[in-house]
């Protein structure tokens, strides 16, 4: 097979950038998108964690990538399929059952991306000799990380900018609290709800508040009154389609659900919530007795049929003893725009003096913003596939296997797996692969919801664009620096010498999230610093995990055994992530981060049992 000379610089950066981007889209961008579209933390964590599965089971079909067609063909074809999947997500975001449909498309895209990983890694080894493989391995990993930065940072910033650009003038809610104001609760008359005032439609969208300035007394009200007011706001907002129907206590008890929810998750959830859940955070008004006030919010112009204008409100400035108790996210449509949406403001029962606070409501066509973002990503992948169709070299060793019977294939297939499980100390190795990141797998699933959730719910109240900068850019820079430092240090002292320092590095910096949850600082610099520290430590510590996979894969079937290790790695991320959102919603962010720190005990246990050759990874000294 003839082949023209093509510089590895012409295809390695683009190939591994294209390898990293769909993984980030499936694992990270999907989480942020679903959060902005109003999906609960429980559902986000559970269903997006299942998207790890293609990377878990990819060793089962990797032999067929070797058998059928060439690696070059698989690379280009999978990139076209990934591009089609991204376009499919963009098209299906606006549909009514978008969650189920986009998850199905993400699932298919995840299989395409996992297959692309197999083909790309195989092509890399076929197109380069061993010397150049070592020479360009740093370039390969660097551009994979660049894809992570672009996905978690640039694309999120684009989505956030589109959200802001399509939004209305920010809503400003001014609240005054003091003993001179009445503490009596007021519920609108039924006549005002049955025959809502239909305002004349204006030429531009604005939000109309009633009352425009809220005055709340600092005298306490009964817990029953507070509960009635909250129940009224939820019922009216649900009835008029401003919020999705809340599962409420029925979801916790499992009432009307499956056997699992009635018999296992429901009772367990109640026990966990009762013994370890946070109280007094403003999330359950009936537990508090502070004065409350309803605020009516309307639109001055009807949205187009099928269009949603989402109002996301959160604390802006002032005294945090005044908080938003309900109405953080409200959806306006052409069917409910004339009706009042209710926001509930409450005062901490311990507040006695005068205080003021303001809440800001940001809006935008979130569906449109995320559709455009995925269209951009799809266009990029089609362009990359076209580029690689012409620029990828055609190594002579890249050919489809011939004259191989199904029996031969399956014998080799089963021998590969059998030889892996016959390795010495395989049980300890698997335990290490599954549990070393058990705590981190839960933490990483809840970081973006934590940064996005308003402070009233225990989060940081950041905008989408700010999360893209904090976690998707500053955090990834810290992760990259930690990985580079870890690789350099490990190459000098070896894996065994640095195993424990790296295990401590992956765990201790996570205290920064405990600090953020406890203090909830307003300073964006402090938030960036905490995320940077945690990601720097994780990047440094994760080096030990990657090196151990290489170490344990040594032998006859190195490539296949490494693929099996990556499958256990994905499984170790998938299972803990599945219940992370459920647990967080039961116990709150502060106690959830305490739990994460406790889980790092498993990291230390498996690190203590694993055995590594002292010479592995250490730079050899040539004696003269």
Q: What is the CATH number of the domain that holds 6?
A: 1.20.1250.20
Question: Could you give the percent of the chain with pLDDT greater than 90?
Answer: 11
- The pLDDT of residue 195 is 45
Q: Residue 624 domain-assigned? A: no
pLDDT bracket for residue 8 (50, 70, 90): confident
pLDDT higher than 60, residue 258: no
Characterize the bridge pairing of strands 213-217 and 171-178: parallel
Give CA separation, 146 vs 18, 19, 24, 473, in Å: 10, 11, 11, 10
CB 364 within 8 A of CB 310: yes
pLDDT, average across residues 410-427: 80
Same domain, 474 and 535: yes
pLDDT bracket for residue 507 (50, 70, 90): confident
Give CA separation, 471 vs 30, 474, 528, 532, in Å: 15, 6, 8, 8
Same domain, 524 and 461: yes
CB 136 within 8 A of CB 12: yes
Q: At what angle do helices 426-435 and 524-553 cross, to 10 degrees?
A: 160
Same domain, 411 and 292: no
Q: Can you give the residue range of the structural domain that contains 70?
A: 1-166+366-402
Question: How do residues 13-32 score in pLDDT, each as one tens digit?
Answer: 889 888 888 888 888 888 88
Same domain, 294 and 392: no
Rounded to whole angstroms, how far apart are CA atoms 484 and 487?
5
Give CA separation, 398 vs 1, 69, 356, in Å: 10, 9, 70
Q: Enumerate helices (H) and strands (E) in the chain, giving the number of each.
A: 24, 9
Interacting residues of 17 by C-beta distance below 8 A, sequence separation 6+? 143, 144, 146, 147, 150, 384
Q: Residue 623 domain-assigned? A: no
pLDDT bracket for residue 248 (50, 70, 90): very low
Same domain, 390 and 483: no
Rounded to whole angstroms, how far apart are CA atoms 303 and 266?
39
pLDDT higher than 80, residue 161: no
pLDDT higher than 80, residue 490: no
Q: DSSP code of 396?
A: T
What is the number of domains present in the chain? 3
Q: Residue 560 domain-assigned? A: yes
Domain boundary at 341, 364, 387, which?
364
Same domain, 261 and 206: yes
Q: Residue 616 domain-assigned? A: no
pLDDT, average across residues 40-65: 77
Q: Residue 538 domain-assigned? A: yes
pLDDT higher than 60, residue 247: no
List phi, psi (to 5°) of 311. -105, 115
Q: Residue 618 domain-assigned? A: no
Q: Residue 621 domain-assigned? A: no
Which stretch of 9-23, 95-109, 194-208, 317-331 has the lowest confidence by average pLDDT?
Answer: 194-208
Rounded to whole angstroms, how far apart are CA atoms 339 and 336?
5
Interacting residues of 8 by C-beta distance below 8 A, sequence separation 6+? 127, 128, 132, 136, 139
Task: Give the containing element (helix H, strand E) for 369.
Answer: helix 366-391
pLDDT bracket for residue 406 (50, 70, 90): low
144's tokens: 């994979």
Task: Tell which residue, 484, 459, 135, has the closest CA to residue 282.
Answer: 459
pLDDT higher than 90, residue 312: no
Task: Give the containing element (helix H, strand E) for 208.
Answer: strand 207-210
Rounded to whole angstroms, how far apart are CA atoms 314 and 311?
10
Domain boundary at 340, 364, 388, which?
364
Rounded to whole angstroms, how far apart are CA atoms 17 and 383?
13
Beta bridge partners of 387: none
pLDDT higher than 60, residue 366: yes
Same domain, 356 and 380: no
pLDDT higher than 50, residue 345: yes
- The pLDDT of residue 53 is 81
Which stretch of 7-21, 59-73, 368-382 has the lowest confidence by average pLDDT?
Answer: 59-73
Q: What string of DSSP letters covers 459-518?
A: S----HHHHHHIIIIIHHHHHHHHHHHHHHHHHHH-HHHHHHHHHHHHHGGGHHHHHHHH
Which stretch of 48-57, 105-114, 273-282 has the lowest confidence by average pLDDT?
Answer: 273-282
Characterize the bridge pairing of strands 355-364 and 309-318: antiparallel
Task: Tell which residue, 279, 181, 192, 176, has the closest CA to residue 221.
Answer: 181
pLDDT higher than 70, residue 50: yes
Q: Residue 263 domain-assigned? A: yes
pLDDT higher than 50, residue 622: no
Task: Tell which residue, 23, 4, 19, 20, has the closest CA to residue 127.
Answer: 4
Q: DSSP code of 350?
A: T
Same domain, 127 and 256: no
pLDDT bracket for residue 306 (50, 70, 90): confident
CB burial of 533-563 (b: ≥16 within 10 Å; e: otherwise) equals: bbbbbbbbbbbbbbbbbebbbeeebeebbbb
- The pLDDT of residue 136 is 59
Same domain, 352 and 466: no
Domain boundary at 364, 394, 419, which?
364
Same domain, 75 and 189: no
Question: Could you give the percent of the chain with pLDDT greater than 70?
Answer: 81
Which stretch of 69-73, 146-150, 367-371, 428-432 has the lowest confidence by average pLDDT?
Answer: 146-150
* Burial (CB count <10 Å: 0-12, 13-18, 19+), residue 390: exposed
488's tokens: 């350099």
Rounded to whole angstroms, how far apart are CA atoms 291 and 184?
8
Same domain, 213 and 300: yes
Same domain, 238 and 319: yes
Q: Is the peptide bond before 211 cis (omega within 30 degrees of 0)?
A: yes
Question: How do residues 265-298 score in pLDDT, each as one tens digit?
Answer: 566 666 666 666 555 444 444 344 678 888 888 8
pLDDT higher than 50, residue 123: yes
Half-sphere exposure of 261 (CA within 13 A, CB side): 12
């Amino acid at each position: 097979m003839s082949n023209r000379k093509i510089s590895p610089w012409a295809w390695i950066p683009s190939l591994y950038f294209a390898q990293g981007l769909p993984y980030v889209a499936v694992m990270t961008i999907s989480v942020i998108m679903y959060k902005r579209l109003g999906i609960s933390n429980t559902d986000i964590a559970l269903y997006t964690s299942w998207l790890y599965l293609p990377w878990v089971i990819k060793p089962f079909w990797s032999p067929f990538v070797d058998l059928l067609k060439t690696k070059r063909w698989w690379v280009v074809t999978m990139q076209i399929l990934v591009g089609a999947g991204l376009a499919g997500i963009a098209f299906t975001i606006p549909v009514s059952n978008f969650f189920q449909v986009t998850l199905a498309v993400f699932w298919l895209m995840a299989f395409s991306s996992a297959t692309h990983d197999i083909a790309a890694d195989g092509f890399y080894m076929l197109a380069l000799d061993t010397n150049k493989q070592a020479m360009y391995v740093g370039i390969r990993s660097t551009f994979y990380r660049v894809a992570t930065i672009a996905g978690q940072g640039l694309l999120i910033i684009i989505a956030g900018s589109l959200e802001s650009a399509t939004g209305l003038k920010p809503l400003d809610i001014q609240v005054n609290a003091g003993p001179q104001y009445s503490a009596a609760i007021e519920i609108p008359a039924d006549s005002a709800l049955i025959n809502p005032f239909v305002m004349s439609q204006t030429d531009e969208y604005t939000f109309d508040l009633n009352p425009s300035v809220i005055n709340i007394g600092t005298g306490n009200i009964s817990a029953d009154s507070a509960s009635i007011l909250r129940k009224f706001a939820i019922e009216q907002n649900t009835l008029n389609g401003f919020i999705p129907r809340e599962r409420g206590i029925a979801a916790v008890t499992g009432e009307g659900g499956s056997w699992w929810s009635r018999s296992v998750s429901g009772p367990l959830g109640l026990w966990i919530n009762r013994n370890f859940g946070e109280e007094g955070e403003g999330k359950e008004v009936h537990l508090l007795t502070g004065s409350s006030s309803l605020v009516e919010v309307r639109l001055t112009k009807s949205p187009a049929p099928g269009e949603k204008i989402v109002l996301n409100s959160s604390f802006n400035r002032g005294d945090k003893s005044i908080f938003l108790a309900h109405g953080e996210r409200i959806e306006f449509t052409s069917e409910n725009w004339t009706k009042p949406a209710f926001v509930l403001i409450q005062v901490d029962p311990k507040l006695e003096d005068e205080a003021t606070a303001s809440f800001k409501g940001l809006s935008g066509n979130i569906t449109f913003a995320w559709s455009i973002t995925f269209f951009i990503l799809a266009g990029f992948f089609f362009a990359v596939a076209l580029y690689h169709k012409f620029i990828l070299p055609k190594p002579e060793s890249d050919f489809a296997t011939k004259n191989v019977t199904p029996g031969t294939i399956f014998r080799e297939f089963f021998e590969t797996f059998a030889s892996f499980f016959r390795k010495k100390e395989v049980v300890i190795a698997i335990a290490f692969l599954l549990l070393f990141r058990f705590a981190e797998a839960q933490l990483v699933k809840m970081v973006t919801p934590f940064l996005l959730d308003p402070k009233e719910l225990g989060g940081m109240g950041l905008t989408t664009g700010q999360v893209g900068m904090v976690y998707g850019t500053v955090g990834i820079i810290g992760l990259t620096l930690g990985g580079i430092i870890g690789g350099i240090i490990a190459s000098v002292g070896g894996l065994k010498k640095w195993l424990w320092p790296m295990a401590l590095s992956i765990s201790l910096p996570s205290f920064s999230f405990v600090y953020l949850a406890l203090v909830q600082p307003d300073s964006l610099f402090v938030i960036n610093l905490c995320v940077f520290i945690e990601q720097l430590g994780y990047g440094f510590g994760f080096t030990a995990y990657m090196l151990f996979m290489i170490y344990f894969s040594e032998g006859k079937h190195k490539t296949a055994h490494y693929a099996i290790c990556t499958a256990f790695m994905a499984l170790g991320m998938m299972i803990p992530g599945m219940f992370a959102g459920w647990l967080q919603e039961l116990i709150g962010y502060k106690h959830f981060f305490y739990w994460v720190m406790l889980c790092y005990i498993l990291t230390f246990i498996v690190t203590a049992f694993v055995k590594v050759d002292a010479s592995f990874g250490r730079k050899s000294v040539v004696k003269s």
